[in-house]
Structure 1
Amino acid sequence: MTALTSAVAAPEVLDRCRALVRPALREAVGRMHPWVGEMAAYSFGWCEVGGRPAVVSGGKGLRPALAVLGAEAAGAPGRAGIPAAVAVELVHAFSLLHDDIMDGDAARRRRPTVWKAYGTGPAVLAGDALFALAVETLAATPAGPAALRLLSTALGDLVRGQADDLLFATRPWTGPRRVRAGEYRTMAEHKTGALLGCAAALGALLGGAPPATVAALDRAGRHLGIAFQVVDDALGIWGDPAVTGKPAHGDLREGKKTFPVLAALDAEGPAAGRLAALLESAQEPAEAAALIEEAGGRAAAPAEARRHVAAVESALAGLPIATGAADDLRSLLGFLVRRDL
């Protein structure tokens, strides 16, 4: 079974893992201060402002799924990875609350972000509380110290990635100070891949996997994060807003240094030159998107994602992991790379 041919099974894998983790995640959030807990529940799509129940998509649940599958890869039942799944989902929610404030994003999944709905200060507080709850969740496990070391490393990398992403916005599109593709990969590994790798590694750790397996799953998740981010970048330009929940060409309007744009600027030919000139001016997003595609940026994104999927496969090859968990991990790879790109 390969990553691409097994992609059809990925939604079922995600649904199974969500159903396993959701009760524990709700129980953890229920221990928070009521007002802070309401903001957390709102961020997960469980309620509206004021606490009225809501049914809003809370995301794919990729990180909790990786934690559950990490435990299963170690030969343990998936429930062994539940504390890891809860912790990484809490950290992910914390990072999104703070990212939305830093980026000034007013909407997420077609409704106001937490800072727009409750205020900036309350949203920062809710993010801090989610982080504290994640640490408490892992500290209560038998592998507490080792688990917290994995989480702290991932958090340090996440901060580095977010810092680089913010600094990219201050750098020019052309010239010696422009952002290179290699810098982008490092940023994406840190900002997105670190927590994905941490999720799989924590699940394996709690499942009793040996250190070499834990480390290999961490590497695999980091490559998966780069692939995931590259595909997200492409969807931010060419994806259907009704599916992505993001406005068309939103990243281009904000001048973000995304992978398709950087790949197009690195290409040879007149389209790359015209794109550089357009980006340095007050560009028309639709025209910029057309030039990025003409220069090869659109085609470069799935090719880059597949390279990192191959790196994930290499990291998994030869590991003493359960066959079913390996197949489920591979099913997620194809699903993430083929997301209507």
Structure 2
Amino acid sequence: MTATLPAEVTATQVLVQPALREAVDRLRPPMRRLVTYHLGWTDERGHAVDGGDGGKALRPAIALLAAEAVRVSPEAALPGAVAVELVHNFSLLHDDVMDGDLERRHRPTVWRQFGTPAAILAGDALLTLAMDVLDRAADPAATRCLTTTVQDLIVGQSQDVEFEQRVDVSVAECLEMAEGKTAALMRCAAEVGALLGRASPVAAELLAEFGRCLGMAFQLVDDLLGIRGHPEVTGKPVLADLRIRKKSVPVVAALGSGTADAAVLRELYRRPEPPTEEELRTMAQLIERSGALDWTRDRAQGYVAEARACLDRLGPPVPIHAALSELTRFVVERDR
């Protein structure tokens, strides 16, 4: 059975979506057209799409729920929620270019549809818009949190790109990369929500750590889906990560397993030519046999346990505690 988002998470869309659309409307027409396409609101001609797939919007939900966790109205954290979602989509636009991804949300990526320069510029536009949105909240601590996070995200992405040229990547390095590339922004979402909710330093740090652990679990599950996810569900090509020889956590764990299968996998990763479909299937089987997929899932569960421990220490209102706990379950059980 497919995991579903908690009702409290999906309910935040009532606040987030209008505010997000209002922010995007401030972009100039050429950039607005690209961004609305990327977000699933319009087609390639700029026509509105009914029921467009705008993604899970987890990060803005985390920001709003963090404010409620410290007993403040979610509206207080709305600028932070919109800002982190804009930064997230900035990173997706650039990631698609760097990874050469052809599909996102079951249709061509922006760079494939409109060209690489257009996708890069659209990402730049979202980043500056995010800073403007949060700056209007006039909270220097929240702004510093976001700008520091963007730097962490950039470092994490640069490590991801660097690792594609190396075979000797360690699991520790890979986890450090995931910390910057994914976990930092989820940490920021929770911390910004707490800061805009005027939380105490202790409460803000507990929520930030909750977001970090949730983000690490999210990335590890993403790594698993990149190997054994179903394209009709994920919206990405089959074995997408292996196709570009990405050094995801399960791949690196398999390469370092010291088995005969690891040696074969290492040779396949070293080949300069693109892998064939048969080689892709072989690579997936080698990773599976190494035990790396099970190890990665167990590690994701460990991060979830840490996230739940943060909630227990914080002691938010019972409905919010339940919603955030359920969110951790969704992260490790999702199939997209």
TM, length-normalised to structure 1: 0.91
Residues in 1 aligned to 2:264 and 2:114: alpha-carbon distance in whole angstroms:
43
User: SS of the residue aligned with 2:314?
Assistant: coil
The match for 2:79 among 72, 76, 83 is 83
Is 1:272 aligned with 2:262?
Answer: yes
Matched, 1:203 2:193: yes
The structural deviation recorded for 1:121 is 2.2
Which among 127, 139, 156 is matched to residue 151 of structure 2? Answer: 156
Shift of 1:252: 0.8
Q: Which residues of 2 match residues 191-340 of structure 1 at below 5 A? A: 191-281=181-271, 284-340=279-335
How many angstroms does 1:8 deviate by?
Answer: 6.1
Tell me the CA shift for residue 104 of structure 1.
2.1
Instruction: Describe the superposition over 1:3-34 as per-residue Cα deviations: whole angstroms up to 9, x where unpaired.
Output: xxxx9673423321122211111111111112
1:125-147, CA deviations, whole angstroms, 9 ceiling, x for partnerless residues? 2212211111111111142x111
Q: Which amino acid counterpart does residue 276 of structure 1 have in structure 2?
A: R
- C-alpha distance 50-8 of structure 1, shift in aligned 2 (>3 A): closer
Which runs of 5 or more structure 2 residues have no equivalent in the other structure?
none
Residues 9 and 323 in structure 2, CA contact (< 8 A), matched pair in contact too: no
- In 1, Cα distance between the equivalents of 2:318 and 2:4? 15
CA displacement at 1:320 relative to structure 2: 4.4
TM-score by structure 2 length? Answer: 0.93
The whole-number CA distance in structure 1 between the counterparts of 2:4 and 2:68 is 17
Q: What is the CA distance between 1:166 and its match in structure 2?
A: 0.5
CA deviation after TM superposition for structure 1 residue 38, in Å = 1.5
Cα deviation per residue 1:43-80 (whole Å; 9 max; x = unaligned)?
Answer: 11000123101132111111011011111111012222
For the 8 Å contact 1:204–1:214, the answer to whether it is kept is yes
Q: Is the CA contact 2:4–2:334 (under 8 Å) kept in the aligned structure 1?
A: no
**Paired letter, 1:229:** Q
Letter of the structure 1 residue corresponding to residue 78 of structure 2: I
**Change in 2 beyond 3 A, CA 1:102/1:46:** same
- Root mean square deviation, CA, Å: 1.8
Counterparts of 1:280 and 1:40, CA distance in 2: 37
Amino acid at match of 1:154: T
Shift of 1:280: 3.1
Q: What's the counterpart of residue 175 of structure 1?
A: none
Aligned AA for 1:59?
G
- Compare 132-141 and 271-280 and name the one that shifted more: 271-280
Tell whether the 8 Å contact from 2:243 to 2:280 is kept in structure 1 after alignment: yes
Alignment partner of 2:20 out of 25, 28, 32: 25
What residue number does 1:3 align with?
Answer: none
Letter of the 1:223 counterpart? C
Aligned counterpart in structure 2 of residue 180 of structure 1, from 152, 170, 177: 170
Does residue 61 of structure 2 align to residue 68 of structure 1?
no
Q: Which residue of 2 aligns with 1:42?
A: 37
Percent identity between the two aligned chains: 46
d(CA) in 1 for partners of 2:9, 2:69: 16
Quickly say closer, same or farther: Cα 1:314–1:276, change in 2 above 3 A. same
Kindly provide the amino acid, as one letter, of the partner of residue 248 in structure 1: V
Q: Residue type of the partner of 1:273?
A: A
What are structure 1's unaligned runs of at least 5 residues?
1-6, 173-177
Q: Output one character per residue of 1:217-249: Cα deviation in whole Å (capped at 9) or x when no partner.
A: 222212211111111111111111111111111
Residue of structure 1 in register with 2:114 after alignment: 118
What is the CA–CA distance in structure 1 between the aligned matches of 2:137 and 2:72, rounded to whole Å? 15
2:87 and 2:229 map into 1 onto residues whose CA distance is 27
State the AA in 2 paired with 1:309: V
Letter in 2 for 1:169: E
| Aligned partner of residue 10 in structure 1, secondary structure | coil
| Residue of structure 2 in register with 1:189 after alignment | 179
* Offset, 1:39: 1.2
In 2: Cα distance, 1:49 partner to 1:279 partner: 36
Give me the whole-angstrom Cα distance separating, in 2, the residues matched to 1:81 and 1:326: 18
Q: How many residues align?
A: 329
